[in-house]
């Protein structure tokens, strides 16, 4: 199958079987925004670092959160690569805790000098609506801007929660780029459940 796809800018483009497509929005900020107070009732949230020996825990959180939003980039990597990422001092991994269990993930990537990326940010559905998103963003911003960076950025896509772009903009990020991303559908390779993300249909390979 060709690795390129001609996109029509005035109509519909046929997506090859076995592929999935999304519109990606990239956002950035160049200084720490004003500190916002934590929402009431978020005292029960906390974050714990995830280390190299916690690959099973990390992947369990990643899968539990990501099966709603087609997170699969970590699931298709060998375990040794995941362990190497977890051991990289330029990437920070945190489990979000609430009610005695893991309910979220925060991943901050500082491998590019002078920059930070909000690589993964998510909460379990059971705690959505309890102020955890704002609480976690407050922690992400505080940790990121303690580093010697001049730019902090994040990307989201139409596979994510529909409110993500607005949430990031309320948090101080500004849109700088949009694009179309096409990739192999991980459900067809057995890397994610076939019935997950039902609002994005599987395009069968012929």
Domains delineated in the chain = 19-33+43-184 (3.40.630.30)
* Planar angle of CA 88, 137, 34, nearest 5 degrees: 115
Residue 154, token pair as written in the block? 């994040």
What is the pLDDT at residue 206? 60
Residue pair 179/23 in contact (Cβ under 8 Å)? The answer is yes
- Predicted confidence at residue 2, as pLDDT, reads 55
Whole-prediction pTM: 0.92
Per the document, the length of the chain is 206
Residue 167 burial by CB count (10 A; 0-12/13-18/19+): exposed, middle or buried? Answer: middle
Structure tokens at 16: 């090859």
**Residue 134 contacts residue 39 (beta carbons within 8 Å):** yes
One digit per residue, the tens of pLDDT, for the chain of length 206 reads 457 778 888 888 888 888 888 899 999 999 999 999 999 999 999 999 999 899 999 999 999 988 888 888 898 899 999 999 999 999 999 999 999 999 999 999 999 999 999 999 999 988 988 899 999 999 999 999 999 999 999 999 988 888 999 999 999 999 999 999 888 888 988 888 888 887 778 887 66
Cα–Cα distance measured from residue 64 to residue 81, given in angstroms and rounded to the nearest whole number: 20
Residue 37, pLDDT score: 95
Torsion 167-171-175-177 (CA) sign? negative
- The pLDDT score that the predictor gives to residue 14 is 86
Both tokens of 179, joined, read 């694009």
pLDDT of residue 95: 98
DSSP character for 16?
A: P
């Amino acid at each position: 199958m060709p690795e390129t796809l001609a996109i029509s800018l005035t109509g519909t483009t046929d997506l090859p079987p076995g592929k999935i497509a999304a519109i990606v929005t990239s956002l950035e900020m160049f200084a720490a925004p004003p500190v916002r107070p934590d929402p009431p009732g978020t005292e029960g949230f906390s974050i714990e670092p995830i280390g190299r020996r916690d690959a099973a825990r990390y992947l369990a959180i990643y899968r539990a959160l990501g099966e709603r939003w087609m997170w699969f980039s970590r699931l298709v990597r060998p375990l040794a690569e995941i362990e190497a990422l977890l051991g990289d001092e330029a990437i920070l991994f945190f489990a979000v805790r609430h009610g005695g269990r893991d309910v979220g993930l925060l991943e901050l990537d500082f491998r590019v000098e002078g920059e930070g990326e909000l690589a993964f940010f998510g909460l379990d559905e059971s705690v959505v609506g309890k102020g955890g998103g704002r609480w976690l963003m407050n922690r992400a911003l505080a940790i990121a801007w303690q580093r010697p960076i001049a730019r902090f950025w994040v990307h989201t896509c139409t596979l994510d929660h529909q409110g993500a772009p607005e949430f990031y903009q309320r948090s101080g990020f500004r849109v700088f780029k949009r694009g179309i991303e096409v990739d192999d559908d991980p459900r067809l390779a057995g890397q994610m459940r076939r019935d997950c993300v039902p609002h994005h249909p599987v395009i069968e390979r012929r």
